[in-house]
Structure formats: C-alpha cells, structure tokens
Chains A and B, each alone.
Chain A
Amino acid sequence: MLSVKNLSKTYKGSNKGVQNLSLELHEGDICAFIGANGAGKTTTIKSIVGIHTFDEGEVKLYDTNLKDDPEHYKSMIGYSPDTPALYNNMTGKAYIELIASLYKMEADELDERLRYLLKELKFESAVHDLVSSYSHGMKQRLVLIALLMHNPKLIILDEPFVGLDPNATDFLVNEMKSRASEGAIILYSTHVLEVAEKICNKLVILNNGEAVVNDSMENVLKKASLNEIFRDVTSNE
C-alpha cells in the first residue's frame, strides 16, 4: 500500500508547491493524477519518489517510510520523469546494465524480462546506440524498459504518453493494466483524460497545489465526464 499523509511542499522563495495532500493506494490500483499546468503534479510526484524534500507529511510504501529508509523504499519503485534526461555518453545497454546493477538484479531474471521488454518496445537494435542519438520517444522507451525490468511494486509515471508512438502507447497501457492485475500500484500524471477514464480506478485532481478531487473513478464519473469535471475545477483558477 502507498500511503501519503498530509504532504506539503513549498519551493523556497515562491508560494508554489503542494499543500496537505493525502492519498492511499492499494495493490492493483491505477491512479490518474490530473491538473492544469503548474497545479503541483510533478512536485508531488518528485516528493513521492524521493527527488525533492518535502516540508511536512509522511510517505510510506507498505511498512517502509521514505524518510527513514530511502534505499529500501526506492528499491520497490519504478519512476519515469516528464523529461527523460539520461546519460548521453552511455549506450542504452550500458544504462540498462547500470540500473540492473543498482537494483541488484539476478542475471537470469534480467535476461528473461529484458528479452520481452526489448521486443515489445522494438528496442533490440537501438539498445546498442548511444543515448545521445535517441529521440525523445526512444529515451522514454528506454526509461520504461529500465523501470519495468526490476518489477517494481510501485510504478510512478510523470506524463508517460508524451513522445510515445501509438504502438508504444498501446504497450504501456496494456502493461499498466497487466502490472496492476499482478498487484503493482500505479500512479501517473496525465493530460490524456480519455485513457485515464478507461484504465484508472482512482483519481486525484490537483488545483493550485491542493487535491480538489480524491476519489474512485467510478464515483467521479457518476457526476459527469472527466473532461467536464476537469474544466469545472480548473475554471475557478
């Protein structure tokens, strides 16, 4: 279970950030994180994955507190940033090897999962090229391979569909569903509301750093379509 309690984060020298956000996600949950630009989605995500410090609150994955045991906490998560800045001087293969080493993967499990991921994402040949020669979409695919190969219990994706071609998008949507059915927790930010409406069972809408909607997708959709709700929430800005 991912438990985020009263998370607050304000950037030094500005009043932007996120205030008092609480969230509870269970095994099998797919949660869409929605909000206008600058609403605090990336700030929240970066706080949950351990990139940013946060001022107040608690983030726990099962019994592991992010602040108390960040190494163990991070060994259970897989994260894809909104802009996939990678080590340009490395080949895709070297990057995968680095991530596999850091997550202390076994050779046979790596081999099996990689074969599947490289094939599905059509990356078998490109993996030997230097990252600097990759397009945005290819970098995104490499990040997905690296995060999925170690079977994380919590998958956090920041606008994962940006830059992906339709094949890769289909793969990711199916993979998210399949990982969730196997017990993974998935939290992702997006502006593609149609996909979110189809695959998510939880929804959080952020506005000016506050969660204005935090409910199951089913309950939310009883009132109106996701598009209408989003427009309604953000029109008060």
Chain B
Amino acid sequence: MNNLKSLFLFRLKNQTQLSNLESSNKEVRKHAIYTISGYIAAFLMFLGYVVFIAIDLNVNNNIQAFFVLLTSILFWVFGIWNILSGFDDVIEGKDSEFIYSLPIKNWQAKLFYLLSKYLVHMVLTLTVLIFGSILVIPLAGHFLSVILMVILLSFIIPLVSTNLTFIISMLVRNILILVRLRNNVTESIITLGIFVTPLIYLIINSGAIGYKDWFINASILRYPLNEINSFPFLLNMLLLIAATLISTFLVIYIMNSFHDFLRNQINNRKKKRQENAAFKIKSPEIGLLLKEFKLYFSSLTYVNNTILTPAGIVIVNICILTGIIPGINSFSYDLLGYTITAQHIYTLIAFTSVILTTTTSCSISFEGRSVWIMLTAPVNVKKIAFGKILINVLLFVPGIILTAIVFYTVFHVSMLYLITITVLLVSTLFLISVIGFLVNLYFPSYNWSSDMEVVKQSKGTIVTAVISMITIPIIITSVFIDNLFLMLLIVMIEIAAIIMMVKKISKGSMVLE
C-alpha cells in the first residue's frame, strides 16, 4: 500500500506540475508557476462562488438549503466533467506500461487510475464542503451533525458521480458496439444525453426560473439543514451511503474482473482495416483536411468537449421544427422595459453556440509529439490552418442550415434579414475559428500526457474562451438592436478582422522555440 501511496503522490506532483518547480530550466519553472497559479485561481474562484451562494441564500432566508444546492452543483459538475474527460484514461493511461512494470499488485495497477480519480475528487469535495461549513454553521447551527454530514458527503458525491458516469459510459459503449454503431460522436452525445436527462427533466418540471432552484430540485441530498435530525434526512443519507457502497463495489468489480475486456474495447478501433491496394494522392489541402478529420474523431475527449454546441444547435432546431418545443412564438417577457421575445432568445442560443466553440484553439497542440510531421513537411501554416479551421466550420454546417430554416419558417423573418443573420452567423463562426487557431499558434503545447490537458486546460483554449466571452455581448447586442445596417457593419468588421488574422497566420510559424 505504501508503494501505491508513493506512486500516487509522485504522479500527482507530475500532473499538477509541482515537480517542475524544482527544474533547472527557468522556462519549465515559469510554465509550472503559471499552470499552478491557474489551478489555484480556478479553485479560489469556485470558493468565491460558494461564498456568493451562501450570502445569496441567507439574504433570501433559504440558508438551510445551502448544502442541498452545493451537493447538487458538485455532483453535476463532477459528473459532466467525468463524461467530458472520458473513461479511457481511467482504464488505460498513457503511462500504463510504466505502472504495470512497478512492484505493485496486479489489482493495484488495474485500479490505479480509478483510485487516483476518486481520491482527487474526494479531496476537492472535502475542501469545498469544509469551507462551506465554516460559512454556514454560524448561521444555521447543528455543528456536529453538519461535520458528520460533510465527511459522509465527501465520499458520497465524488464516488456516486464517478461511478454513475462510468456505468453509463460503459453501458452506452457496449450497446453501441453490439448494434455496430460505435463511433466517438455517437458515444459522446448519447452518454452525455443520458446523464443530463434527469437534470433537464427536473429543471423543466420544477417550474422555477432561477438556476439555484433548478439545482436544489436536482440534488441527491433532498432535505435542508433544519431537518438534519429528522428521519427523512437520515433515510436520505442512508440511501446515499448504500448507493455509494453498491456502485463503488460494482465499478471496482468491473474494473478488476473485466479490465482486459475494457482495454480491448478501447483498442478495438485499432484493429486491422479493410485492405485496399490502391494508394491515392490528393492535393495537399485535401490531404490535410482528411488528416484533420481523422485526428479530430480519434479522441473521445476532443469530440466530447467540442461537439456539444454544434450538436446542441441541431437538436434545438429539430425540436422547434418538429414541434417538440411548441408555441415558441408566443413566448415573451419584459426585462428592464425591453421585451425579450422567443426570437431574441433563439438568436442568443444560436450565436452563443457558434462563439463558444474551442475546436481550433487546441487543434495545433493536439498534434502532440507527432508535430514533427507537419514541421518537416513542405507545407506552410496557412495550409495547415485551412484544414483545422474547416473542420470546425463543417461541424456547424447542419446547425446553421437548420437555423436559417427556423428563422424563415418559424419566426417568418424577411429574406433580407435572413441573409444578413446567416452571413453574420457564418462570419462569426469563421472569426472565432481563426481566433482559436491564431491563439493556439502563439500558445502551443505539444508535451501533454492526457487529451483533457490540451482540450480544456491549455492556454490556447482558455485565452480563446475569454475572447469568446467578450465577443458574445458585442454581437448579441447588435442583433438585439435589430438594425440591419448595424449587423452588416459587424459582418464587415468581422471579415476585416478575419483577413488581418489570416495575414498574421501566413506570417506565423509553428516552428518550436
């Protein structure tokens, strides 16, 4: 067990870059300091949010529901994070061969990644809940009961969310393999869909407007603090403990007994392909585009994290066009004297989906250690950019076509408005794709060890996300003002910005420092 503990601490130090703080290379130390600062900043921001909800609930005389809300947020955030990260890394890590070569027991090697995940999530949960207790106990009392509940919840929340998402992921994967429909896009959409369905169902049926009420309704902890000593509360806790124990036992059993089977399923995609003797030569651009498609669809994590908005916009449009979302045109409400219509909200959703895409912002980094192929090939950055940007644009093509149809058939906009809004949508999509690529060109990172590290936590993705957040209100305001001239002006500005950035890309280089 001591070996396992040392190994876990050693790996954690590497993953969090703490080990790089002792590097003799100044650049490596600097990078480690930035990364660690980023992690600390993100965690402090979350703690700040915990303070905010405590104050907000207290002002609204609902402080007793604090742990119900916090439990719910932690549960859903961990769950969605687990699904976006995927479980392939838990079954077979990049350093699996190293782990198996160490003097640890076979079951320890098999469960190493899963236990690491459990432990990190438990420590994070415990820290957040203890911080929450410090805020709430003076206001709500029940010191001993709260401390006991916090300790139990620190096990329950991370274990149940991890176990549940693991079971859903494995079930979806196996069913898709059974019906021969498995690919990363289908697997990603169905897994996430199944996990969030109860949340969406509870939101729709809650009748509440505020998101805090939505999460309170969707919490696995059902009773507020003032009922902490009541029988229903105790029963709720007992059921959660039972669910935790059963699901943990089940997941550990599956991982230990069917590890090779699960590992083979990951590698199944690596089996022999259909033999076709003829070698085909394409133009460099088409060759690069095909390569980009293969690279993109090769990673469940990459697909998971970037398919949400393109798929989401298609699903929303289909729901509107088929009447699953009925009477959308009759919806409106007043906000600060301004009437918000369904068309406004729909426009907001469409543009936010397009802007919040980060496919290109990690596309260069995603080359990883294979980047030497592009660096030594006779291609310039512009050609490489072509393939990577086009992937993101193509992902949105179905969504944009359906959006145009909805604008025309549901909101009955004029042809001129339809053309303008579609052009604005397309130019915004190109703009954000080019921004993402350019940012990644300046902040590449090739030495990553897990897909999540590059897809969600890289500097390129974070910088692009910040730029997107700034872009959204500017474009949305122009659309809300409903002035065609202003929208055309924005299109012109976007096209000018795209041209400028493409020139910058042309002069840029992927060559390593």
Contacts and interface: CB of A to CB of B under 8 A. Distances in A.
Interface stretch (B156-164, B334-342, B370-378, B411-419): B370-378
Contacts of A49: 375-376
Interface of B: 24-30, 267, 269-276, 279-284, 286-288, 290-291, 294-295, 297-298, 368-370, 372-373, 375-380, 509, 511-513
Given A77-B376, A85-B372, A87-B294, A100 B281 contact: yes
Contacts of A231: none
Interface stretch (A28-36, A50-58, A194-202, A216-224): A50-58
Given A72-B378, A77-B376, A13 B512 contact: no
A89 to B, nearest CB: 3
Contact of B290 (A13, A75, A98, A130): A98
Nearest to A107: B281
Nearest to A51: B375
Nearest to B23: A13
Contacts of A14: 24-27
A153 to B, nearest CB: 12
A59 to B, nearest CB: 12
Given A13-B25, A91-B273, A110-B279, A102 B379 contact: yes
Contacts of B378: 71-72, 74-75, 102-103
A208 B270 CA distance: 42
Interface of A: 11-14, 46, 49-53, 70-72, 74-75, 77, 79, 81, 83, 85-91, 93-94, 96-107, 110-111, 114, 128-130, 132-133
B376 A50 contact: yes
Given A87-B294, A98-B290, A102-B284, A52 B511 contact: yes
Contacts of B24: 14
Contact of B372 (A13, A75, A81, A98): A81
Contact of A130 (B28, B29, B270, B288): B270
Contacts of A97: 279-282, 287
Nearest to A132: B270
Given A102-B288, A103-B378, 15 more contacts: A12-B25, A12-B27, A13-B25, A50-B511, A52-B512, A53-B513, A70-B380, A71-B379, A85-B370, A87-B298, A94-B291, A98-B287, A105-B281, A111-B279, A133-B270
Nearest to A83: B369
Contacts of B375: 49-51
B273 A13 contact: no
Nearest to A52: B512
Contacts of B294: 87, 89-90, 94
Contacts of A11: 25, 27
A53 B495 CA distance: 32
Contact of B511 (A51, A71, A98): A51
Contacts of B368: 85
A31 B370 CA distance: 26
Contacts of B290: 94, 98
Contact of B273 (A71, A81, A129): A129
A91 B294 CA distance: 10
A103 to B, nearest CB: 6
Contacts of B267: 132
Nearest to A103: B378
Contacts of B276: 93, 128
A237 B267 CA distance: 46
26 contacts: A12-B26, A13-B25, A13-B26, A14-B24, A46-B512, A50-B375, A52-B511, A53-B513, A71-B378, A74-B378, A86-B370, A87-B295, A87-B298, A87-B373, A88-B270, A91-B273, A97-B280, A100-B281, A101-B287, A104-B281, A107-B281, A110-B279, A130-B272, A132-B267, A132-B270, A133-B270
Contacts of B286: 101
Given A14-B24, A100-B281, A89 B372 contact: no
A1 B91 CA distance: 51
Give the most central of B25, B271, B272, B376: most A CB within 10 Å: B376
Given A74-B378, A89-B294, A13 B287 contact: no
Nearest to B275: A128
A157 to B, nearest CB: 12
A94 B282 CA distance: 11
A130 B273 CA distance: 7
B297 to A, nearest CB: 8
Contacts of B288: 98, 101-102
The 7 closest A-B pairs by CB, nearest first: A101-B287, A13-B26, A13-B27, A89-B298, A85-B369, A75-B378, A74-B378
A14 B28 CA distance: 9
Nearest to A9: B513
A93 B283 CA distance: 16
Contact of A74 (B27, B282, B283, B376): B376
A90 to B, nearest CB: 6
A102 B273 contact: no
B380 A101 contact: no
Contacts of A53: 509, 511-513
A88 B88 CA distance: 15
